[in-house]
Amino acid sequence: MSRDMICVYHAADVEQAEVLVTWLAEHGIEALVKDTYAATMLPTPLIVAPRGIEVCVMDPEQAERAAALLREQFAEASAQRGPEPPGGTIEATCEECGQSARFPASQRGTVQSCPHCGRYVDVPLA
Ligand SMILES: [Zn+2]
């Protein structure tokens, strides 16, 4: 095995990298987490690369497809953060943990629990 691995993505952490590897495998692309792979050869605990965890693909032909899939995936994710249609969901910011969460519009003006910390959150009217 002397083929070069092609890095298609720098994940923020090992967990995200592993999710991506699994996700790529579901699309028929053989990928691996480079730094975890290297770390298994070392006696010391996992060393996290300062620029992120590299997700690599073995096959150059698959690398292009992987990159296209990833672009598609992230474009979709950012589109979902766009404005909601009326009657969709309402964003509420938790006063306890400062994180925001979305609730169905039918719950506007009510008190719900925060999905992040479990405390009460006031869902705004608009
Ligand atoms: Zn919270």
Q: How far is the CA of 120 from the centre of ligand 1 (A)?
A: 8
Q: Calculate the alpha carbon distances from 27 to 5, 38, 74, 79 in Å.
A: 18, 24, 15, 21
Give the per-residue pLDDT at 73. Answer: 83
Q: How far is the CA of 11 from the centre of ligand 1 (A)?
A: 26
Mean pLDDT of 72-92: 72
Predicted confidence band of residue 5 (pLDDT cuts 50, 70, 90): confident
Question: Strands 120-122 and 53-57, how do they pair?
Answer: unpaired
* Count of CB atoms situated within 10 Å of the CB of 53: 22
Query: Which single residue is written with the structure tokens 């028929």?
Result: 28
Query: Which single residue is written with the structure tokens 């992987």?
Result: 66
Mean pLDDT of 9-16: 84
Name the residue with higher pLDDT: 104 or 14: 104
Q: How far is the CA of 99 from the centre of ligand 1 (A)?
A: 6
Measure the CA–CA gap between 16 and 14, rounded to whole angstroms. 6
SS3 31: strand
Give the per-residue pLDDT at 58. Answer: 87
Give the per-residue pLDDT at 103. Answer: 92
Name the residue with higher pLDDT: 118 or 74: 118
User: Which tokens go with 6?
Assistant: 């092609």
Q: How far is the CA of 13 from the centre of ligand 1 (A)?
A: 23
Mean pLDDT of 27-38: 78
* pTM for this predicted structure: 0.49
CB 31 within 8 A of CB 54: no
